[in-house]
Chain A
C-alpha cells in the first residue's frame, strides 16, 4: 500500500497508532476463529488420549489405547481403507470431469457465462442431503435408472445400486465436482490465452498444447483443486449416510457415531486418524508433484 501524500514526519507516529487500531480492528475476528477452531482442535487432541468407561464416560488418562484400538481392529482399518479408496476414486473422477468444464467456462465469451457458473455454484449451497435425495430417486430398485435399463432390455432383474460403494462414489463425485471446476476455472482464467495461441501457431495440436503448455501452467491450481476435493471426499458425511446406508461406513459417519455414543476419546482419536491420513497424503502428493515439476 502506498503511503504517498503523507508528510514524512508523521509516518512513525501513524504507524504506531495504526498498529494499535489494527489490533482492535482485526482482533475480535481473529480471537473468534482461533477460539472456535484452533483451541478446540487442541482440546480434541488431548481428549484422544483419555479413556472411556461406560458409566463414567470420559476419564482423564494419557494413553495411546484409543489409537491402538483403532489400528488393531480390522473393522476400523477397513473403514479407513474404504474412505481412502472412495476419496481417491472421486478425486480422480473429478479431475477428469472437471478439466473440460473448467476450461470451457474459463475461455467462453458467451454472455451466459455467469448463468453457467451459477449453475455450478447452486448445488454447492443447496446442500448434500438434497442432492442425495436426487440420487435416491435415480438409483432405487424402481428408480429411473433401473426402470430405463429394464425397458431397454439391458437387465431383467433390478440392479442393487442403492447402499453400495458405487452409489456413494457417484454421489460424492457430484458433490465435489463444483469445487474442482471453480478452482481450475479461476486458474485457467489467469493464464494468458496468447500462450495457447502461440503453441498452436507453432504447430502443436490441442493435446500437445494441453500437455506442454496449459498443464504445467495450471499445475498449482490443479494441485489445489485435487487436494480440496480429496479432503472433502475423506470427510464426506451426508452422502455415505444416505446413499451407503447403515452398513456402509466411512470415517465421517464413524466419527459422528462415536460422539453420538458419547465415546469422545475414541471419536477424537478416529477424527485425528482421519485428519492425519488426509494431511499426510496431501502433503506427500504436494511434494511429489512439486519435485516432478522442478525437473
Chain B
C-alpha cells in the first residue's frame, strides 16, 4: 500500500516533468495552424516545411558549429586540467576544482552578463570587435564545456588502475608514451562522453547565448524563444520536436559510453 502510493507519487512527478514535451509533440502534428483543442485532424506538413525555413536552418547550423568547436576546445583545456586534478597534489587544488565546475552552477543569465561585460571591456582595451562575434559566442560556450569535461574525465581517471601506468614506466616508457599508449585509451570512453555532454549543453544553451549573439547571428534555442514570444503554432512545435529528437539521439549515443545516471 505504502509502496504503491510512493510509486504513484513518483509517477506523477515524472509525468509532470515530461508533460510539456508531450504537448509540444502533440501540437506538431495538428492539421490546423491554431493551437486549439481538439485538433481538427493530424498532419505531417509542418515537419516538411521546416527545411525551407531559413531562420531555423541557419540557427541549427550555427548551434551545431558552435557546439562542435566549443566541445573540442573544452576537451583541449579540460583533459589536461582533469589529469592534473587527479594526479597531483598541490595547494588550492580543491579551490581550482570548484572554480572549474563553477560555470555549471552559475545561472545562465549571470554567466551571460559577465561575458557581455568582459567582451565590452576587451573591445575597449584591444579594439578587437569581439562583442557579438562568432569567436565571443564560442568562447562563452567553451566556458560551459569545461566543467562537463573536467567532471567526466576526472571520474574516469579516478576509476582507472594506476598500476598499469607504473608498469609501462618501469618498462621504460616515458611520460608522453605512457599517456598516449596507456592513459588515453583507458579514459577514451570518458573523453567521448565529455565531448558529447559539452556538445549537448552547448547546443541547448539559451540564457547565456542571449547576451552573446550579434545581429543576424542567432542560435536555434534563441530562434525558438523569439518565435514563441510572437506566437505558438505547429511550425514552432515541429522545430521543437526536431530539437528534442536531436538531443535525445545525442544522449543515447552518450549513454553507450558512460552510464548517464552516474554522471549527471
Q: A residues touching B (Cβ–Cβ < 8 Å)?
A: 1-2, 5, 18-19, 21-22, 24-26, 28-30, 32-41, 43-44, 47, 97-98, 100-101, 103-105, 113-114, 116-138, 140, 142-144, 147-148, 171, 173-174, 177-178, 181-182, 206, 228, 231-232, 234-235, 237-238, 241-242, 252, 255-256, 259, 264, 267-268, 271, 275
Contacts and interface: CB of A to CB of B under 8 A. Distances in A.
Given A104-B7, A137-B237, A130 B200 contact: no
A140 B118 contact: no
Contact of B84 (A22, A38, A268): A22
B20 A135 contact: yes
B114 A41 contact: yes
B139 interface: yes
A181 B13 contact: yes
B132 interface: no
B197 to A, nearest CB: 9
Top-9 shortest CB links A-B: A134-B20, A235-B107, A142-B36, A100-B9, A40-B114, A29-B81, A25-B84, A40-B118, A104-B10
B116 A259 contact: yes
Nearest to B201: A125
15 contacts: A1-B162, A26-B84, A29-B81, A38-B99, A39-B118, A103-B10, A104-B7, A118-B252, A125-B203, A133-B20, A147-B36, A177-B16, A181-B13, A182-B264, A237-B210
B80 A28 contact: yes
B35 A137 contact: yes
A232 B107 contact: yes
Interface in B16-35: 16-24, 26-27, 34-35
A187 to B, nearest CB: 14
Interface of B: 2, 6-7, 9-10, 12-14, 16-24, 26-27, 34-38, 77-78, 80-81, 83-90, 96, 99-100, 102-103, 105-111, 113-118, 120-121, 139-140, 142-143, 146, 150, 162, 166, 170, 200-201, 203-207, 210-211, 221, 224-225, 228-229, 232, 236-237, 240, 243-244, 247-248, 251-252, 255, 259-261, 264
A32 to B, nearest CB: 6
Given A97-B13, A142-B36, A114 B260 contact: yes
A235 B228 contact: no
B247 A125 contact: yes
Contact of A130 (B85, B107, B121, B244): B244
Contacts of B96: 26, 30
A129 B228 contact: yes
Contact of A174 (B17, B24, B34, B206): B17
B36 A235 contact: no
A261 to B, nearest CB: 14
Nearest to B6: A100
A135 B259 CA distance: 30
Contacts of A25: 80-81, 83-84
Contact of A117 (B6, B83, B166, B260): B260
A22 B229 CA distance: 48
B14 A119 contact: yes
Nearest to B8: A100
Contacts of B103: 33, 36-37
B54 to A, nearest CB: 19
Contacts of B146: 29, 32-33
Nearest to B175: A21
Given A114-B260, A137-B232, A33 B201 contact: no
Given A26-B85, A103-B6, A44 B102 contact: no
Contacts of A228: 105
Contact of A118 (B26, B116, B255): B255
Contacts of A143: 35-37
Nearest to B107: A235
Nearest to A182: B264
Nearest to A207: B2
Contacts of B18: 119, 123
Nearest to B169: A5
B213 to A, nearest CB: 13
A129 B236 CA distance: 10
A6 to B, nearest CB: 8
